[in-house]
Every structure is written in structure tokens, then in C-alpha cells.
Amino acid sequence: MENSNFFIGLISGTSIDGIDAVLVQFKNDQPKLIATHCGEIGAELRDRILNLCNSTNLDFKTLGETDMIIGHAFAQAVKDLLKTSGLDAQVITAIGSHGQTIFHQPTGEHPFTIQIGDPNTIAEITDITTVADFRRRDMVVGGEGAPLAPVMHKNCFFSAEENRVILNIGGISNITVLNRDGSSFAFDTGPGNVLMDYWIDKNKEKAYDANGDWAKTGSVNQTLLSQLMTEEYLAVSHPKSTGRELFNGRWLEFQLKSCDEEVSAEDVQATLLKFTATTITNSINSCSQPNRLFVCGGGAHNSELMSKLNELLSDCDVASTAVLGFDPDWVEAVAFAWMAKQTMAGKSIDTTAFTGSRKATILGGIYQA
């Protein structure tokens, strides 16, 4: 069953809200979603991950243990996914595991990125060959290492009939510009849900602002919004990528202290939602004139954020990737199943337009079952 063309994609994103696991079957390099499963990340493991992301004094014992714990959790997500699908591990060609990012530094003399979730553990427990560590090879050839999902966006979402932008709103937001003339590029625009999630957790002890309901109770504070918009990253030209290393609770608290006005908690949330929408739309308007914008990731379910995007992009039709036949919750996981397929076939992936790499290269290491 080596040529069954069944692959599994795994990722836990910047929001750290679960392990997205997808079972995909490919025909002519086009993915068909067969089954999905969201593996649980409990409060204790999430705290471990956040502590590593925010640590200024790294504890190697915690790092090593968390690497193994996440590996076991990813493996369990695969087993649960297979149980849901009714398929046996032997028919799966490979797993593509992104892992969990805990630090991303794409600039400087020695750029690097760290994703954990031990692939040896995944391969051994699932008995499925696992492809992992996609981002670091891209950095070796001069890329930012992120965003990588745009390589699949181009393969699956390009249209010769119209200019499109694919917007992924996770903890961080990124866009993939797909022009009808075949030109394309991508980059991280800035925060997605990460700041809103931090603020509602601090004030309401909720993991996220469902539908933007809390943000709707507040009003945008223009002084605070102007303060947030002074962030230097927003003015950097692409290719570029970012993460929790920049946009986090410490960053937000500093911005609030720097603001000349006292802002109520609900007004902060409303302003953060407007900040996310504004940084996205400014990024799009600076480099593209899309006919349609397709949104994926958790932010696609935030009706208030989607409404704000519609308002700010009045000349562009805004919709979920669901209208293209791709459930917005699973697009990124499908992308890593697609990348694993390329790696297993020995195919180089061209990220030059997306991450700024110097050349196409094979991404990911193979951990044989």
C-alpha cells in the first residue's frame, strides 16, 4: 500500500488551542480531506508551552520533557484520527508534522527557529513514517522559515480568472497573494488572535473571544490604536515572519503603559480586534488589489473580525475558504500533509516568493517507521 496516497498532517499553531490532525488523500497533487481530529492540549501542557515561549531563562529539563510530551500527544492525535477514519496505519504513506513552535528568530547573524514534538516518538508510536522539521532547511537557504503554508495555497487556490488573497488568521496572521498572472508572494502581517486571546484570558479567564462578542461591547480607542500601529515590524518590507517572540502579553502591557489614556478592558479588546483587522488590510492594500479574499484559521469564525475586514476591504469580496471546498479549520494541517508528500517523493519545494529563500529545496527530515 506504499502508493496509497494517504497522508496525515499535524500542527499545533501559535494559539496553542489544540492539535489539528487531518487525513488526506491525494489525486494529481490535489488533496481531498478524508477525516479530521482536534487533539486536546490540556491546561498543564499549554502552560508548559507558554512558559517556554515566554522564557528568558531557558530550563533545558522542561524543554526536553515538553518535546517528548508533545510528541506523545501528536502520536495520540494520529491514533484517534485513524480510529475516526476506520483506516489502518499501514495504508498511510507518511505523516507531515509541523510541531509546536516555541521560538522563531528569522533575522540576525544566525537565524533559527525551534519546533518541538519529537518526530521519533510520533513515528515509533504510530508505526508511520514521519516527516518533520520543515522550517529549518528553508532558513539554511536564506528563507525566513515561515510562512510555509502558502506553497500549498498556490498549488490549490490559484485562479487564472481573478486576483486572490488567502488569509490565515491563527495566533499570527499571514497572507498569500495569488495574482492571476501567476505571480505570488506571502508574509506574516502581524497579530491574529494572539493579543485578543491574551487579553480576554487575563480579564475574563476565557481562552478566546467567541465571535468577537466581548470586543463588540467596547469602542475602539484611537489613541491606543495609534500607539499599537507604531510597531516597527509593521513597516518592514516582505518577506517577513513573526510570532509570540514579538506579539505577546509583555508587548501589549508595554503598549498600554505607553498610551496617554486610561482604556477600559472592553475598549482594549475592541481596539485589539481593529488592530488585527487594520494590519491585515494595510498589508493587503500595500501590495495587492484582490478580487476576492479567502479566510482560513480560527479567525474565520470571529464574525466581528470578519465584519471588520469586509468593512475595510469594501472593494473586495471576503469569504471563508469553505467556498473553495476547504474547511477553514484544517487548511494549515492539510498544507503539512502536502509538504510531506513532496518530501517523500524527493521533490524540492520553491519557497523563494514566500519566505525569501535563495532556491527551492527539499523541506523536512524523514523519520522512518
Q: How distant, in Å, are the alpha carbons of 66, 139, 318 from that of 101?
A: 12, 15, 29
Q: How many CB atoms within 10 Å of residue 2? A: 8
Owner of C-alpha cell 507531515: 96
The residue whose grid cell reads 508572494 is 185
CATH 3.30.420.40 is the classification of domain 150-324: yes
The CA-based angle 15-188-17, given to 5 degrees, is 10
Distance CA 127, CA 125 (A): 6
In this predicted model, what pLDDT tens digit does every residue of 95-122 receive, in sequence order? Answer: 999 999 999 999 999 999 999 999 999 9
Task: Provide the residue ranges of all domains of the chain, joining segments of one domain with +.
Answer: 6-145+330-367, 150-324
CATH topology of 6-145+330-367 equal to that of 150-324? yes
Residue ranges of E strands in the chain: 6-12, 19-27, 30-39, 92-105, 112-116, 130-132, 164-169, 172-178, 184-191, 292-296, 317-320, 365-367
C-alpha cell recorded at residue 23 = 487525513
Q: Count helices and strands (H / E) in the chain.
A: 13, 12
Residue 197: all three cell numbers together: 486571546
pLDDT in tens, 309-350: 999 999 999 999 999 999 999 999 999 999 999 999 999 999
pLDDT at 59: 87
- Region 115-144: mean pLDDT is 98
Per-residue pLDDT tens digits for 267-317: 999 999 999 999 999 999 999 999 999 999 999 999 999 999 999 999 999
Alpha helices in 144-218, H assignment, sequence order: 150-157, 194-204, 213-216
pLDDT for the residue 58: 82
314: cell is 469594501
**Predicted local confidence at residue 198, as pLDDT:** 97
> Can you give the pLDDT at residue 3?
52
Q: Mean pLDDT lowest for which of 1-10, 118-127, 135-144?
A: 1-10
CATH of domain 6-145+330-367: 3.30.420.40
Comparing CA positions, the residue from 112, 104, 95, 127 lying closest to residue 19 is: 95
Cα–Cα distance for residue pair 63/316, rounded to 1 Å? 44
Share of the chain above pLDDT 90, in %: 96
Q: What is the mean pLDDT of residues 146-161?
A: 97
> Tens digit of pLDDT for each residue in 30-55?
999 999 999 999 999 999 999 999 88
User: How are beta strands 6-12 and 19-27 bridged, if at all?
Assistant: antiparallel
Instruction: Please check whether residue 318 is in contact with residue 191, taking contact to mean a CB–CB distance below 8 angstroms.
Output: no
SS3 97: strand
Distance separating the N- and C-terminal Cα atoms of the chain: 14
Q: How confident is the model at residue 2 (pLDDT cuts 50, 70, 90)?
A: very low
- Confidence (pLDDT) at 57: 82
Residue 28: its pLDDT value, please?
Answer: 86
Confidence category of residue 56, pLDDT binned at 50, 70, 90: confident
How high is the pLDDT of residue 1? 39
Across the range 170-177, mean pLDDT stands at 98
CA–CA gap between residue 101 and residue 11 (Å, rounded): 9
Which pTM value belongs to this model?
Answer: 0.96
Q: What percent of the chain has pLDDT over 70?
A: 99
d(CA 189, CA 276): 9
pLDDT of 266 > 60? The answer is yes
